[in-house]
């Protein structure tokens, strides 16, 4: 019942459609219950007395009742499907909207494959169950109660004899359904694992081909697919045994009716019309139970799916923004005050990702973050747009804790170009103005020029209106990174973050991008995460991270004199430590 209570708010807006559908169901059930009575009249009063008028009148009434039942069935079916589809659309929209609020920490715990299954398969199961409930489940008790009443009215003695079988059917349905219920959640969980393998394979298909791992991927999929299939077979084995058992009980009931009812007809205590009507009402009594035996497994599957959907729907973002905040970012001064970060939130059990980070970046400064993979560079810049919250300490912009800014204020003033550039389907222009939809064509072109993307965009058919294929497959890695940089620049932010976003471009293009950014970002604060020294030499300030700590901080000239770790990185990449940036560019371009 708790699961039903969860979906009730989504159904309130459709309450009148549901009421009309249920009213149609009531009239349909009533008309169906009157038909066997007309058959009894035709046999006992018409055929037995050779009264053609009685046969004609009763037949016409049966036709009228059947047409009315058909009309009511159409109304019920149409409204049931309409409500179910609309309900599913509302639930999907609500779920999608809630996912949009998730922080990176939320998304770290909920895998993409899980969210996709719950958005599609689980909601579809709930939709089907809702439609079946409005069309069949409500009809089953009406038909069951009504047919029992008509059984008693038709022949009380036979009714008492045959109704003794009903508790047996109820026990059978309860036992089988209870065994199947816990398996439905496992079926959906295993479907998630199948989807996860499929998603990873499709996303990494080029890597799979490059490393000739197709056979390995096939085996991995086969294992997950077999596990999913096995669980589905277990569920269907239970259901496969239930249905024949129910049919057996039904056939035994009919045999008992014919035996005892036939003797009563021979003895004169029951008419032929009554036994025919009684057999029809018996089928009407048993048929709802057969329906319930088929529907209950679907009901239990929907309960599992509702719980899974609402597990995501009731997940609240770990980042809470103030409802009313008048704080504004004006200069872009960034300060870290004794910041620690642990993604798992169980600080003390293992080494945090960031440890006791404190620094201040003045407005307009360009700060480069240098360090080995896993040193914490990306984790540090992820805190600035508040993609995560620190475990301890605070991050401030213009002297205000990030938690006191509205989400809109942060997103308007902080732009982020990720290392793994993500492009969306649509046009190139749409992707560049993604963070600022109101940007003019001139601003889009200016951003593309600054990111050194203008020339290759013009080479595309349609230029800025050229279509971007799924995941930007029709662009090279360097082109995607330049479009991501253009997208960040187009926001016209106070603070710009480039997370190793030029790793896929050549050194000459990187230098051109840096020159353009220097002119464009004057007066704006920028953070550049880099792996190679050539990227950071133009920075006002270089911070070297190691194991989540800042181990060196200063300008290039200062660090090359005083920081052994910076010297080691510099010499490992540039040789004797005295080469100028221009020399590095010329050398790398010549070797390209």
For the sheet with 354-361, list strands across it.
354-361, 334-341, 392-397, 400-401
Alpha carbon of residue 88 to chain centroid = 13
Q: What is the domain count for the chain?
A: 2
Residues 347 and 309 in one domain: no
Question: 36 lies in a domain?
Answer: yes
Whole-angstrom CA distances from 359 to 115, 470, 531, 544 are: 38, 40, 21, 12
Whole-angstrom CA distances from 522 to 189, 449, 493, 497, 518 are: 52, 17, 11, 14, 6
Q: Which one-letter DSSP state was computed for residue 316?
A: P
- The pLDDT tens digits along the chain (592 residues) read 566 777 888 888 888 988 898 888 888 888 887 888 787 788 877 777 777 888 888 888 888 888 988 888 899 889 988 888 888 888 888 888 888 877 777 777 777 767 777 888 788 888 888 888 787 777 777 777 887 888 788 778 777 776 677 777 777 777 776 776 677 767 767 877 777 777 677 666 656 666 666 777 788 888 888 888 888 787 777 767 777 777 777 777 778 777 877 787 787 777 778 778 777 777 777 777 777 766 766 777 777 778 888 888 887 877 788 878 788 888 888 999 998 888 776 555 667 888 888 999 888 888 888 887 788 888 898 888 888 888 888 999 988 898 888 888 888 888 887 767 778 888 888 888 888 888 888 888 888 888 888 888 888 888 888 888 776 777 877 788 788 888 888 888 888 888 876 665 666 666 666 666 666 666 788 888 877 676 677 788 888 888 888 888 888 888 888 888 888 878 777 655 444 434 433 433 343 3
Question: 206 lies in a domain?
Answer: no
List the domain range (segments joined by +) for residue 453: 334-591
- Residue that the structure tokens 């003797």 belong to: 263
Q: Which residues of 137-160 are buried (b: 16+ CB within 10 A; e: fewer)?
A: bbbbebbbebbbebbeebbeebbe
Residues 379 and 524 in one domain: yes
Question: 167 lies in a domain?
Answer: yes
Question: 246 lies in a domain?
Answer: yes
Residues 270 and 361 in one domain: no
Residues 446 and 583 in one domain: yes
- Residue that the structure tokens 């708790």 belong to: 2
Q: Which residues pair with 467 in a beta bridge?
A: 427
Residues 25 and 152 in one domain: yes
CATH number at 81 reads 1.20.1560.10
Question: 49 lies in a domain?
Answer: yes
Residue 539 tokens, joined: 């920075």
Provide the pairing of β-strand 495-499 with 354-361: unpaired
Residues 124 and 76 in one domain: yes
The residue among 263, 278, 313 that closes a domain is 313
For residue 96, what are the contacts with CB-CB under 8 A and spacing of at least 6?
119
Provide the pairing of β-strand 549-554 with 354-361: unpaired
Residues 256 and 366 in one domain: no
CA dihedral for 382, 384, 385, 387, sign (positive or negative): positive
Residue 6's pLDDT is what?
A: 79
Residue 181's pLDDT is what?
A: 67
Residue 348's pLDDT is what?
A: 54
pTM for the model: 0.67
Residue 577's pLDDT is what?
A: 42
Question: 326 lies in a domain?
Answer: no
Residue 517's pLDDT is what?
A: 66
Cβ atoms of 119 and 95 closer than 8 Å: yes
Residue 312 neighbours by CB distance under 10 Å: 18
Q: What is the DSSP string of 161-214?
A: HHGGGHHHHHHHHHHHHHHHHHHHHHHHHHHHHHHHHHHHHHHTHHHHHHTT-H
Question: 12 lies in a domain?
Answer: yes
CATH number at 393 reads 3.40.50.300
Residue 443 neighbours by CB distance under 10 Å: 16
Residues 358 and 495 in one domain: yes
191: left (phi over 0), alpha (psi -120 to 50) or beta: alpha
Residues 340 and 288 in one domain: no
* Helix, coil or strand: residue 276: helix
Residues 307 and 360 in one domain: no
Nearest Cα to Cα of residue 29 among 130, 141, 129, 131: 141
Question: 392 lies in a domain?
Answer: yes
Q: How many Cα atoms within 13 Å fall on the side-chain side of residue 183? A: 20
Q: Is 522 exposed, middle or buried (0-12, 13-18, 19+ CB in 10 A)?
A: exposed
Residues 247 and 348 in one domain: no
Residues 281 and 427 in one domain: no
């Amino acid at each position: 019942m708790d699961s039903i209570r969860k979906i009730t708010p989504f159904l309130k807006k459709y309450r009148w459609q549901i009421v009309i559908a249920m009213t149609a169901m009531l009239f349909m059930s009533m008309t169906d219950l009157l038909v066997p009575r007309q058959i009894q009249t035709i046999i006992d009063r018409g055929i037995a007395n050779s009264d053609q008028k009685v046969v004609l009148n009763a037949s016409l009434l049966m036709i009228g009742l059947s047409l009315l039942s058909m009309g009511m069935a159409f109304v019920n079916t149409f409204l049931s499907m309409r409500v179910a589809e609309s309900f599913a659309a509302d639930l999907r929209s609500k779920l999608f909207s809630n996912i949009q609020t998730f922080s990176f920490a939320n998304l770290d715990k909920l895998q993409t494959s899980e969210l996709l299954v719950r958005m599609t398969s689980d909601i579809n199961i709930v939709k089907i169950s809702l439609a079946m409930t409005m069309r069949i489940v409500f009809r089953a008790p009406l038909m069951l109660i009504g047919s029992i009443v008509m059984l008693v009215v038709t022949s009380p003695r036979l009714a008492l004899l045959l109704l003794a079988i009903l508790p047996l059917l109820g026990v059978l349905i309860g036992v089988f359904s209870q065994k199947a219920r816990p398996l439905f959640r496992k079926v959906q969980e295993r479907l998630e694992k199948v989807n996860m393998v499929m998603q990873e394979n499709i996303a990494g298909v080029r890597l799979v081909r490059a490393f000739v791992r197709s056979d390995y991927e096939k085996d991995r999929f086969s294992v997950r697919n077999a596990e999913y299939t096995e669980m589905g077979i277990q569920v269907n084995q239970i259901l496969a045994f239930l249905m024949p058992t129910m049919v057996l009980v039904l056939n035994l009931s009919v045999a008992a009716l014919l035996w005892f009812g036939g003797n009563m007809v021979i003895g004169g205590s029951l008419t032929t019309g009554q036994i025919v009507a009684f057999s029809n009402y018996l089928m009407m009594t048993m048929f709802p139970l057969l329906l319930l035996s088929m529907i209950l497994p679907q009901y239990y599957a929907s309960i599992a799916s509702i719980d899974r959907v609402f597990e995501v729907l009731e997940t609240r973002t770990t980042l809470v923004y103030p409802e009313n905040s008048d704080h504004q970012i004006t200069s872009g001064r960034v300060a870290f005050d004794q910041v620690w970060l642990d993604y798992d939130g169980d600080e003390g059990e293992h080494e945090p990702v960031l440890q006791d980070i404190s620094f201040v970046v003045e407005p307009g400064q360009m700060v480069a973050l240098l360090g080995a993979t896993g040193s914490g560079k990306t984790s540090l810049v992820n805190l600035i747009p508040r993609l995560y919250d620190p475990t301890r300490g605070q991050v401030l912009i213009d002297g205000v804790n990030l938690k006191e800014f509205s989400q809109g204020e942060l997103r308007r003033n902080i732009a982020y170009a990720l290392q793994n550039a993500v492009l969306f389907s649509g046009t190139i222009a749409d992707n560049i103005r993604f963070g600022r939809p109101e940007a003019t064509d001139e601003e889009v072109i200016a951003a593309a020029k600054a990111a050194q993307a203008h020339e290759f965009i013009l080479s595309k058919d349609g230029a800025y209106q050229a279509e971007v294929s799924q995941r930007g497959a029709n662009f090279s890695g360097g082109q995607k990174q330049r479009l991501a940089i253009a997208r960040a620049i187009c926001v016209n932010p106070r603070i710009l973050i480039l997370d190793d976003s030029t790793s896929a471009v050549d050194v000459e293009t990187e230098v051109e991008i840096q020159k353009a950014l220097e002119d464009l970002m004057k007066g704006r604060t920028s953070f550049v995460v880099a792996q190679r020294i050539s990227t950071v030499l133009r920075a006002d300030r270089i911070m070297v991270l190691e194991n989540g700590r800042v181990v060196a901080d200063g300008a290039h000239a200062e660090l090359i004199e005083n920081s052994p770790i910076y010297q080691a990185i510099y010499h490992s990449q540039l040789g004797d430590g005295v080469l100028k940036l221009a020399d590095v560019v010329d050398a790398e371009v010549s070797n390209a």
